[in-house]
């Protein structure tokens, strides 16, 4: 029987970029038994929660999901489908590669950027613990745990080693947040001792941002807390051509959910102009995760070829190609 993969088609441009991605995977020789699951606004419109428990359980059982962006319905009572999924499946590591693509103009076309960010995905200020003890004061609790930091660092060092990278930088603000970020950093250097082949260093988050826009080639891999990772990874996406290219993976002990960094782009939904690359790159991360490295490499090369030729460029990157034209160009390159 074929490998099963859970699919969330998503809202807005979600179904368009999912169709393009699965068509390209098939052209690249990859097929699977895709199991479509409900989530997001389309689920809410059917009277279900944004992340139905049946969907969570199905992903838990299947172990691998490819997810298109979902729209978070505005107004009370609606939890974001993504937050619900990350919590329910304990997807503790958010992995986001940043790689410059020859032919795609970022703000720094001369730079060769190839770095990977591992962001903690369940703790920090995003644990959602807030109070308002006085009408004129609100407080939020920052939660960092030793086991949570330890497993993240271990995952990051393993990944750096597996990808043949040389260094890993912990990004923090331990000079100010001595207990929380201090604990994160302490665990980092504790785990680092087990990886003598990888150069471990740390950098304060504000300096890191400055270095990223002046000398991005200095970075190989970054491991950081939830809030810093959220901000720093968007900064990195901007360095290499924007949201249409930024791929991501949410990794847990037993499950992994692969999704683009961007949202459902309601402003361009249904127009056939969305750039499917970010979801496609996320799908290639998924292929590598399940050991389909050759297929991932072949499809990745076809994308680079199309980008390098510069003839079929989507609008977000300054071209005129629609989703279908771009998809066909990649399939032709395959
Ligand atoms: P967004 O990422 O959907 O859009 C921001 C801008 O980037 C828009 O102008 C959009 O047209 C453009 N853009 C994004 N992806 C693109 C692509 N593949 N090709 C071409 N252009 C693209 O962010 P926004 O507008 O803040 O959020 C829209 C909805 O998406 C919200 O409901 C939000 O909650 C949800 N969202 C969902 C995420 C997920 O499911 N992982 C992540 C982020 C937002
Ligand atoms: Mg973000």
Sort 136 into a burial class: Cβ within 10 Å, 0-12 / 13-18 / 19+.
exposed
Least confident window among 27-31, 97-101, 158-162, 283-287: 97-101
Please report the pLDDT score of residue 109 as a whole number. 63
Whether residue 161 is found in the same domain as residue 48: no
Query: In the annotation, is 110 catalytic?
Result: no
% the chain with pLDDT above 70: 96
Q: Are strands 114-120 and 221-224 parallel, antiparallel or unpaired?
A: parallel
How far away, in angstroms, is 262 Cα from ligand 2 center? 8
Query: In the annotation, is 124 catalytic?
Result: no
Task: Ligand 1 pocket test: pick from 14, 263, 282 the residue with the most ligand atoms within 8 Å of its Cβ.
Answer: 263
Q: Is 213 a member of any domain?
A: yes
The ipTM assigned to this model is: 0.98
Whether residue 9 is found in the same domain as residue 70: yes
pTM, to two decimals: 0.93
For 95-121, write each residue's pLDDT tens digit.
Answer: 999 988 887 776 666 667 899 999 999
Whether residue 121 is found in the same domain as residue 10: no
How far away, in angstroms, is 72 Cα from ligand 2 center? 14
Task: Give yes or no for a contact between 201 and 253, defined as CB atoms under 8 angstroms apart.
Answer: no
Residue that is last in its domain, among 211, 239, 267: 239
Whether residue 137 is found in the same domain as residue 156: yes
Whether residue 231 is found in the same domain as residue 125: yes
Q: Which domain holds residue 227?
A: 107-239
Query: In the annotation, is 126 catalytic?
Result: yes
Whether residue 235 is found in the same domain as residue 293: no
Residue that is last in its domain, among 239, 271, 287: 239
The average pLDDT across 123-149 equals: 93
Q: Is the pLDDT higher at 325 or at 78?
A: 325
The bound ligand whose nearest atom lies closest to the alpha carbon of 231 is: 2
As a whole number of angstroms, the distance between CA 159 and CA 60 comes to: 22
Q: Which atom of ligand 1 approaches the CA of 73 most closely?
A: 32
172 in contact with ligand 1, CB cutoff 6 A: no
262 in contact with ligand 1, CB cutoff 6 A: yes
Whether residue 116 is found in the same domain as residue 156: yes
For ligand 1, atom 23: residue with the closest CA: 263
- With a cut of 90, say whether residue 149 has pLDDT above it: yes
The total of structural domains in the chain comes to 2
Residue that is last in its domain, among 239, 266, 300: 239
Cβ-proximal residues to 322 (8 Å cutoff; 6+ apart), any chain? 272, 273, 314
Whether residue 12 is found in the same domain as residue 51: yes
Task: Give yes or no for a contact between 132 and 160, defined as CB atoms under 8 angstroms apart.
Answer: no
pLDDT-based confidence at residue 83 (cuts at 50, 70, 90): confident
As a whole number of angstroms, the distance between CA 325 and CA 43 comes to: 30
Here the CATH number for the domain that contains residue 73 is 3.40.718.10
Q: Which atom of ligand 1 approaches the CA of 10 most closely?
A: 40
Q: Is 100 a member of any domain?
A: no
Whether residue 317 is found in the same domain as residue 272: yes
Edge-to-edge strand list for the sheet holding 93-99: 33-36, 4-8, 64-67, 256-260, 247-251, 93-99, 114-120, 221-224, 167-172, 199-204
Q: Is the pLDDT higher at 169 or at 244?
A: 169
Q: Is 99 a member of any domain?
A: no
Cβ-proximal residues to 20 (8 Å cutoff; 6+ apart), any chain? 276, 279, 280, 323, 324, 326, 327
- With a cut of 80, say whether residue 29 has pLDDT above it: yes
End-to-end CA distance of the chain: 26
Q: Which atom of ligand 1 approaches the CA of 70 most closely?
A: 40
Please report the pLDDT score of residue 127 as a whole number. 80
Whether residue 176 is found in the same domain as residue 68: no
Whether residue 163 is found in the same domain as residue 226: yes
pLDDT-based confidence at residue 267 (cuts at 50, 70, 90): very high
For 244-255, write each residue's pLDDT tens digit.
Answer: 899 999 999 999
Q: Which of 112, 166, 206, 254 is catalytic?
A: 206
As a whole number of angstroms, the distance between CA 30 and CA 28 comes to: 6
């Amino acid at each position: 029987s074929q490998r099963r993969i859970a699919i969330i088609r998503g809202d807005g441009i979600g179904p368009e970029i999912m169709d393009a991605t699965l068509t390209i995977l098939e052209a690249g020789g990859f097929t699977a038994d895709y199991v479509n699951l409900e989530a997001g606004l389309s689920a809410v419109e059917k009277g279900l929660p944004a992340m139905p428990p049946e969907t969570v359980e199905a992903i838990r059982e299947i172990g691998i999901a490819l997810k298109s962006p979902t729209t978070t319905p505005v107004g009370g009572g609606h939890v974001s489908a993504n937050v619900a999924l990350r919590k329910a499946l304990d997807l503790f590591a958010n992995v986001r590669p940043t790689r410059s693509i020859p032919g795609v103009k970022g703000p720094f076309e001369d730079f060769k950027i190839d770095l990977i960010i591992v962001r903690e995905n369940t703790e920090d200020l995003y644990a959602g613990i807030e109070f308002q003890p006085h009408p004129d004061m609100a407080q939020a609790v920052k939660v960092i745990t030793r086991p949570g930091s330890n497993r993240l660092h271990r995952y990051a060092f393993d990944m750096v080693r597996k990808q043949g990278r040389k260094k890993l930088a912990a990004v923090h603000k331990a000079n100010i947040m001595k207990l929380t970020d201090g604990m994160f950093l302490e665990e980092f250097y504790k785990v680092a001792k087990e990886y003598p082949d990888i150069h471990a260093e740390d950098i304060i988050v504000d300096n890191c941002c400055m270095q990223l826009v002046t000398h991005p080639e200095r970075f190989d891999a970054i491991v950081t807390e939830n809030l810093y990772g959220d901000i720093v990874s968007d900064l990195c996406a901007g360095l290499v051509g924007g949201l249409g290219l930024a791929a991501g993976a949410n990794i847990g002990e037993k499950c992994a959910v692969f999704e683009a960094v961007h949202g459902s782009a309601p402003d361009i939904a249904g127009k056939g102009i969305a750039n499917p690359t970010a979801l496609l790159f996320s799908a290639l991360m998924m292929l590598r995760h399940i050991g389909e490295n050759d297929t991932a490499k072949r499809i990745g090369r076809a994308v680079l070829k199309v980008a390098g030729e510069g003839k079929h460029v989507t609008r977000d990157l300054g071209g005129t190609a629609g989703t279908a034209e771009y998809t066909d160009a990649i399939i032709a390159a395959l």
